[in-house]
Amino acid sequence: MPPTGLLDAPHAGPVVTGVTPGSAAAAAGVEIGDVIVSIDGRAPSDVLEYRWLVDEADPELEVLRGGIHHHVAVRKGSGEPLGVEVHSSVFDRVMTCDNHCEFCFIHQLPPDTRRSLHLKDDDYRLSFLYGNFTTLTRFTEMDLERVLTEGLSPLHVSLHTTDPLGRADMLRNRRGAVSLRWLRVLLDAGIEVHGQVVVCPGVNDGDVLVDTLTGVLDEYPTLQSICVVPLGVSRYNREPRMRPHTTAEAAAVLDCVHAAQADFLDTVGRRVVFAADEYYLLAGRPFPHPDTYEGFPMYEDGVGMASSFAVEFSGHETLRDRSGGFFASVDGAPAEGYRAPRTACGDTATTVHLRPRTGAPVSIITSTYGAGVLGPILTAEGYHDVEVIAVPNEFFGGTTSVTGLLTGSDIATVLAGRDRRRRYLLPDVCLSGGRFLDDTTPADLPVPVEVVATDGRALRSVLDGYRGG
């Protein structure tokens, strides 16, 4: 999901939202609120271009301040940080999605959610920066040239099916039948690509899913990974073909994925395709061994979260890269929206602090799916005194059951009247910019909560700290 502010058009340039004290920008007189019109005479269209420009030595900035243009000469070395935070990652218009997929979750959002959540992007830049999936239906030769020239890798591409007519039908866009030609070009050029298949029961499951995974093996064997995820259905769904999976359908998807993994292993030496954790919960099957996830390449898409969490909670090292990739290292690049870096523990903007009370009873707030994962892990590790609070998602309704889509209003309903002497732990994945998706904050909840990082080692450290051990 793109950041707030991307709806603003005309290419205005990055707005300065922070200046690091003692930095080159501060010494040059750059101020919060300045609009950077150009850098060395060039107007950056996005944070990628911005990053390359400010990386140079002694950049010359033209800024707009109070309606007046100012020239700012910055003295710094090549590679030295500028010391500026900017308002967004894209300064021109985001490439919006012109597909009309029946399964699109954005079409199933409540009507009163904030405007930015309703913007559908199909922008390869956000695919690179955030891990957003693009269908490539709006991808152009110019886009390809930039991807190859600047090495914008990895990218994330929505497949859904490799059958041209079937893909055009699912995307409700005739270009969907031919847009995967770009995938072939990207892979041939050495760009790392991760794929996604959203499985809609009765549409692209069963034999269609088998043909899709076989087609990937035949046509795109160098894909880095593919996540197979279930259709999400909210109570605002208006598409008659879209319905939740049955238990038997979920089991059939897992059987298909496991068979495809064996084929990929035999052919390319990697499993490549992985099923989302939700499928194992829906089918009532145990999660695979962590080693089978091959480094958790699709962790952010709900693949292998449960297995990774269990290993981390048991005291082992983190199994995946939590660096945040390129975006986290970009000077002045904010990360907002669904894929934002989550609130760190101790962030006073979003955490309601309590005085440490060793031995105080602890409750962990999570989703219904989260409770299905967390409860057995806590029991197996001997944390019988820790309460797991499963919060039903009434805000979105339907099959929405993941922790990252919990809202403050639903959490508040469950926490109403509860004992304030307990310690309530809120996973940071629920928050973006310190706010829930319904624009409430932790401070709006009826009891104080503490925001904790959503990984096994962090949670165990917090729990042991409360126990005094």
Those residues whose C-beta lies under 8 Å from the C-beta of residue 350, and which sit 6 or more positions away, are: 343, 431, 434, 441, 442, 451
Indicate left, alpha or beta for 160 from its phi (over 0: left) and psi (-120 to 50: alpha).
left
Amino acid 231: pLDDT = 93
Burial class (CB in 10 A: 0-12, 13-18, 19+), 41: exposed
Residue with tokens 């830049």: 125
Look at the alpha carbons of 96, 100, 101, 103 in this order and tell me if their dihedral is positive or negative.
positive
In what order do the strands lie in the sheet containing 60-65? Answer: 35-39, 60-65, 68-73
Amino acid 6: pLDDT = 38
- Are the beta carbons of 253 and 271 closer than 8 angstroms? no
Q: In this structure, how many other beta carbons lie within 10 angstroms of the beta carbon of residue 37?
A: 17
Element (H, E) at 427: strand 423-427
Q: How far is CA 450 from CA 46, 292, 347, in A?
A: 35, 34, 10
Backbone phi, then psi, for 247, in 5-degree steps?
Answer: -60, -45
Instruction: Strands of 146-252 (E only): list them.
Output: 155-158, 193-199, 225-230
Amino acid 11: pLDDT = 52
Full-model pTM: 0.85
pLDDT in tens, the chain (469 residues): 333 333 344 457 899 999 999 999 999 999 999 999 999 999 999 999 999 999 999 999 999 999 999 999 999 999 999 999 998 888 888 888 999 999 998 888 888 777 777 778 899 999 998 889 999 999 999 999 999 999 999 999 999 999 999 999 999 999 999 999 999 999 999 999 999 999 999 999 999 999 999 999 999 999 999 999 999 999 999 999 999 999 999 999 999 999 999 999 999 999 999 999 999 999 999 999 999 999 998 888 889 989 998 888 887 766 554 433 333 333 444 434 333 443 333 333 334 444 445 567 899 999 999 999 999 999 999 999 999 999 999 999 998 888 988 999 999 999 999 999 899 999 988 888 788 989 899 999 999 999 998 888 888 888 888 766 4
Backbone phi, then psi, for 37, in 5-degree steps?
Answer: -75, -40
Amino acid 115: pLDDT = 73
- Are the beta carbons of 91 and 2 closer than 8 angstroms? no
Q: What angle do CA 2, 305, 454 make, to 5 degrees?
A: 70
